[in-house]
Amino acid sequence: CLSALAFSASGLALTTTVQADDLSGTRITVHSDYLWGEIEPSGFANAGATPLKDYESHGDGFGFDLRHDWQDGDTVFGVFGSATWLGLPGGTSVAKSTTDSEGVTVTTHHGFDTDLSWLAAVGGRIGHVVNDNTLLYIQGGVATGRLEINETGDGAAASGDISKTGYMAGIGLDLQLSDRWSLGVSVNHYELGDITFT
């Protein structure tokens, strides 16, 4: 099971001319991210004396959003698409001890490494305007990501690149600086669910 939490800082360039107190319009966002990921291995009961442990990973990312918003009074609602490239490596392993036919204890190591390489999402958002140029919003939608998995340890051979679809949900703030520029921050949770690796 894979989940990730992303903190994003964005610089927003407006592609349509709007007033500073009107947040309607189409926007292209360039963002920088810091991400925390969590992997919860399961199905490895025979890998060792103890199950493989959950582990966390951390990494940087960057990407862009394409948004279109409509403003009605102090309410803003819109749609967005987002793409983020990142590096989120991690891994876990266990030691397995067996006794051969001559009574000798043999210890082998088994596990895997992972690296989340990109995330993408599409969805909608709704927010409330404060002081004419500050937008507080929530957003959510369908998300997908690509995870590279490599078996590690004795006799390791398996590897794979797996794409998985789940969801994202987040909260953020945009500050309109001028007709064409704004800055924003957001915190988003991505949940990609179960990934099968043989």
Task: List per-residue pLDDT tens for the chain, 198 residues long.
Answer: 556 566 665 554 444 444 445 788 888 888 888 888 888 877 665 555 566 778 888 888 999 999 999 999 999 999 999 999 988 888 887 777 778 788 888 887 777 888 889 999 999 999 999 988 899 999 999 999 998 888 887 777 788 888 889 999 999 999 888 877 888 889 999 998 887 776
The 3-state secondary structure of 105-166, one letter per residue: EEEEEEEEEEEEEEEEEEEEEEEEEECCCEEEEEEEEEEEEEEEEEEEECCCCCEEEEEEEE
CA angle 13, 189, 147 (to 5 degrees): 95
Tell me the chain's radius of gyration from C-alpha atoms. 22
Question: Against a cut of 0.85, is the pTM above it?
Answer: no
